[in-house]
Amino acid sequence: MFFLIAVALPTPTPPSLRAAADRAGILIGAAVRPEQLSEAAYASTLAREFNMVEPEDALKWEVVHPAALSFDFSQGDKMVDFAMTHKMKIRGHTLVWHQQNPKWLTEGKYTSGELAEILERHIKSVVGHYRGKIFAWDVVNEAFDELRPGQLRSTMWRNQPGIGLGEAGTAYVERCFRWAHEADPQALLFYNEAEAEVMNPKSDAIYAMVRDFRQRGVPIDGVGFQMHIANLHPDVASVSANIKRFTVLGVQVHITEMDVALPVDPNGNARPEDLQLQADIYREIANACLSHPGCAAIQTWGFTDKYSWIGSHSKHTQGAALPFDRDYRPKPAYAALRNALGSGRR
């Protein structure tokens, strides 16, 4: 005699992004603000959902190198401790950039020779401090110009006054990679860029630089595609073709700073139909990465709409760009990302 007994089974909890990514053999990361790690919901969501972190601002010059002769690793160390406790990989961001540099540096009137010494010491100190802990570095960020397609940007590091290699094309970029490699020969070294996710003159110029570096044995291991998306109909086929051509060169691609900014009302709310379009974009970009074995990481720029740079960056006309809402509830974008990761590599 059989009896059917109705038992109230708990609703099965679907696997986290992290569990799905682990199974798919890909890294899923988020940019982190270490000052929020003391917030329980922030910390628990981060540790549950991601297997990689990167400091959003904590390792930029203005934070880590606040005076000419002093470094402040306190925020970076806090994030590294958290990541190690939760067995997460750590990306470093960023050693050479034209933004978020401290006044002592930008207003210091240094000669090229002095700047070269300052930059070498910075790279070697920061990479050295995290040697063996940070597995991948964005060595140089955004060296190519927005307005002059394919041209290098004029910056204090290249030619204003530069570190002495301003007339030699990408030689100053090469020098930075060599310094970083000396400081941690095991770390993977990335060139990270904005608005070069699709095939365009900027990504063509980066491609030429990376091919040249690989041919000459310059230590470069990967290219970061920032992936800040504001257009709700991105050309994903072009992103995929671009990922492919870099991985064919033998370097990895990491998606490093993904968010999908939506128009928002004065309360910060997006339209439901836009949240669906956003979900489609997260899914399609994740699928593009998963379809190339050399695309090794997908990272979002933050993870909760509570803390996202898009609000202040767009004067609060855009927002709602991340997979979790302001109360840490998963959005359609979360489900889309998890489903893509759950289907694995293809």
Residue 309 in the binding site for ligand XIL (CB under 6 A): yes
Residue 82 in the binding site for ligand XIL (CB under 6 A): no
Distance CA 20, CA 287 (A): 13
Active-site residue, selected from the candidate residues 142, 174, 193, 197:
142
Q: Count the residues of the shown chain that bind ligand XIL, applying the rule CB under 6 A.
A: 7
Q: With beta carbons less than 8 A apart as the criterion, state whether 297 and 241 touch.
A: no
Binding mask 230-269 for ligand XIL (x = CB under 6 A): ---------------------------x------------
Q: Which of residues 110-149 bind ligand XIL (CB under 6 A)?
A: 141
Q: With beta carbons less than 8 A apart as the criterion, state whether 251 and 223 touch.
A: yes
- Which residues does residue 116 pair with via DSSP β-bridges, in sequence order? none
Q: Is 142 a catalytic residue?
A: yes
Interacting residue with ligand XIL among 54, 57, 174, 221 (CB under 6 A): 57
Distance CA 150, CA 61 (A): 26
Q: Is 257 a catalytic residue?
A: yes
Number of CB atoms found within 10 A of residue 26's CB: 21
For ligand XIL, the closer CB: 143 or 290: 143
Residue 197 in the binding site for ligand XIL (CB under 6 A): no
Residue 226 in the binding site for ligand XIL (CB under 6 A): yes
Active-site residue, selected from the candidate residues 49, 174, 193, 257:
257
Distance CA 157, CA 148 (A): 18
Interacting residue with ligand XIL among 16, 21, 28, 56 (CB under 6 A): 56
- Burial profile 108-147: b = 16 or more Cβ within 10 angstroms, e = fewer: eebebeebbebbbebbbebbebbeebbbbbbbbbbbbbee
- Which residues of this chain interact with ligand XIL, rule CB under 6 A? 56-57, 141, 194, 226, 257, 309
Catalytic site positions: 142, 257
